Structure 1
Amino acid sequence: MEQQARQLNIEIANVPEHKGENLTSLLGKIGTFIKHPINSADILSVHRVPHMDSKNPHPKNIVVKLSSKILRDNIITAARATKVIISDKLMISGTPRTIYLSEHLTPNNKLLLRFCREAAKKHNYKFVWIKNGTVLVRQTDSSPIFAVRSEHDVNKIKS
């Protein structure tokens, strides 16, 4: 239910913070860079969110609520196709950082994704990804896709 409330959201990580920054303008730059324009009319809200660990030295993530799920999915697909988004290519001052766009996950799903990635790496699974708030894994290019919905499911990767 909590994940469903985030279905229009994108989370953008590792964007350097600046006083008085214009996050809507930043989204326009990202849209241009990934070759999928993001119009300000499609942005319902945009803001930075604090980290779960207040001692985290990385910039606060940006959460963007968009006008439709299709738009969200198209932006994420375009960002993945671009491969790497570096802050200096967007004319953001400071140390260049790799910027990441993803679905906005609940804290529990973020933790589940982390556990799943660790287990997958340890047990030679090739793919771990998120689709519509669900963690998915695949061991090889031709193996079946497995949905991970709990820590119990993560243990199935280990067997």
Structure 2
Amino acid sequence: MGAYHLRADNASGPTQVRPRPVVVRLARWELRNDMLRSARVRREVTTADLGMSNEPRRFYVNERLTKHNRYLFRKTREAAKERNWKFVWTRRGRTYARREQGSSAIQLSCEDDIDRLTIAK
């Protein structure tokens, strides 16, 4: 499991803000892709929808990225925010960006590709 997400600004010491992430490795790519596709359709699902009795909380399903792809995704998000691009996402381990709804998407595979965000229209 991943690390606890703590908030240290409490006077009585750090308190747990969110539960730890759950990482799942599936045996087949088809099942993984189906699960991610279904999760994108149901973005507003809460723990109450799963029949859990605790306080309803939203949860997220994301694909696990390699260290390089995670770094590229973060740098792309930062560059897109500076340049007012609206969409940055990952799919099947690849990073994509789109300036606005209806424009063509750009696939980024290395840090040098981020410069294309200023050139592309």
* TM superposition score normalised by structure 2: 0.71
Structure 2 counterparts to residues 1-159 of structure 1, below 5 A: 49-51=1-3, 56-57=5-6, 58-159=18-119
Deviation at 1:94, TM superposition (A): 4.4
| Structure 2 unmatched runs, 5+ | 7-17
Q: CA deviation at 1:145?
A: 1.7
Give the conservation status (yes or no) of the 8 Å contact 2:43–2:60: no
Structure with bigger gyration radius: 2
Name the SS for the 1:101 alignment partner: coil
CA distance in 1: counterparts of 2:55 and 2:72, whole angstroms: 30
Structure with more of its chain in strand, by fraction: 1
> Matched residues in 2 for 1:100 and 1:74: separation?
15
Normalised by the length of structure 1, the TM-score is: 0.57
Within 2, Cα distance between the matches of 1:85 and 1:100?
9
Q: CA deviation at 1:95?
A: 4.5
1:118 Cα deviation from its structure 2 partner:
2.5
Query: How many residues are paired up?
Result: 108
1:69 to 1:146, Cα distance in 2 relative to 1, 3 A: same
Identity %: 31
Ranges in structure 1 where 5+ consecutive residues have no aligned partner:
1-48
Which structure has more relative contact order (CA 8 Å, sep 6+)? It is 1
Root mean square deviation, CA, Å: 2.2
